[in-house]
Structure 1
Amino acid sequence: MQPSNKTAVTVEATIKAPVAKVWKFWNEPAHITQWCAASDDWHAPRAEADLRPGGKFSTTMAAKDGSFSFDFGGEFTKVAENEQLEYTMGDGRQVAISFITQGDETKVVETFETEDMNPVDMQREGWQAILNNFKKYTEAN
């Protein structure tokens, strides 16, 4: 992740699954649509990912009641299978995700640059909630 003047926030979770499964569930659109939401009243009806440096990704996040939706996307800048992902979001913010093998478990550490519209704590809570949802989905499947 390139240094910038944005605030960087880190969220993490330890998933009770091997790194190959965690990597697959994190990156395959069929799985992304099952976990990429911060709360039960939201979902991800669409996801695409061209998992290579220079490849684009996009996930539609939407309120289940149809009242609001947005696309979350960007471009991968680093792809090291089962180890590291880095990408630049559509608004230029940087994200780095490490997948750390810990025996039969995998620690996921995600560092993202904040945006200026919402409080940092709110952003941290939202990204952590999505990561927690990923953990719950991955461990149950």
Structure 2
Amino acid sequence: MSKVITIETTINRPIETVWETWNEPRHIVHWGFASDDWHVPAAQNDLSVNGTFNYRMEAKDGSEGFDFSGVYTEIVPNKRIAYVLGDGRRVSIEFTETGNATKINQSFEAENEYPPEYQKEGWQSILNNFKNYTETV
């Protein structure tokens, strides 16, 4: 069984704004990367059960890139998203409204190639980018 890693943040925006910036491809391209030397040149998202998503993640210098993709298994608008990645790992995201802020709690099964601490740091960096972007739109 895979180790489950959990990350979280609180965004100072209402749930409707957070949900939109999390799920709309026109927003995803602005935050879906872990460091400034990477970007997401294209994003597709069919936010429905059995719908798919694909975010193209690439180094800005063109040296490497990969598709981050999966299939949704659960969608509860403004509350919860669950999906299975292409390699079979499961991910769940909980959205909790707290006044004019929204807490995100994201759990994912670790893969075996990189140490869990490295994976947690990378996913947390993406979540931090999401927070920074969403609080400015």
Question: Shorter-chain TM-score category?
Answer: over 0.9
Aligned to 2:23: 27
Deviations 1:36-76 (A, max 9, x none): 01000000001001000000000000000111010000000
CA–CA separation in structure 2 for the residues paired with 1:94 and 1:110:
11
Q: Which residue of 1 aligns with 2:10?
A: 14
State how 1:1-141 maps to structure 2 within 5 Å: 5-141=1-137
- The amino acid that maps onto 1:89 is L
What SS does the aligned partner of 2:135 have?
Answer: helix
Count of aligned positions? 137
Equivalent AA in structure 2 for residue 17 of structure 1:
R
| In 1: Cα distance, 2:136 partner to 2:46 partner | 26
Task: Provide the C-alpha distance between the structure 1 equivalents of 2:6 and 2:102, rounded to a whole number of angstroms.
Answer: 16
- TM-score (norm: length of structure 1): 0.97
Q: TM-score w.r.t. structure 2 length? A: 0.99
Following TM superposition, the consecutive aligned residue runs of length 4 or more in structure 1 with deviations greater than 6 angstroms are none
> Match of 1:125, as an amino acid?
E
Deviations 1:59-102 (Å, cap 9, x if unpaired)?
00000011101000000000000000000000000000000000
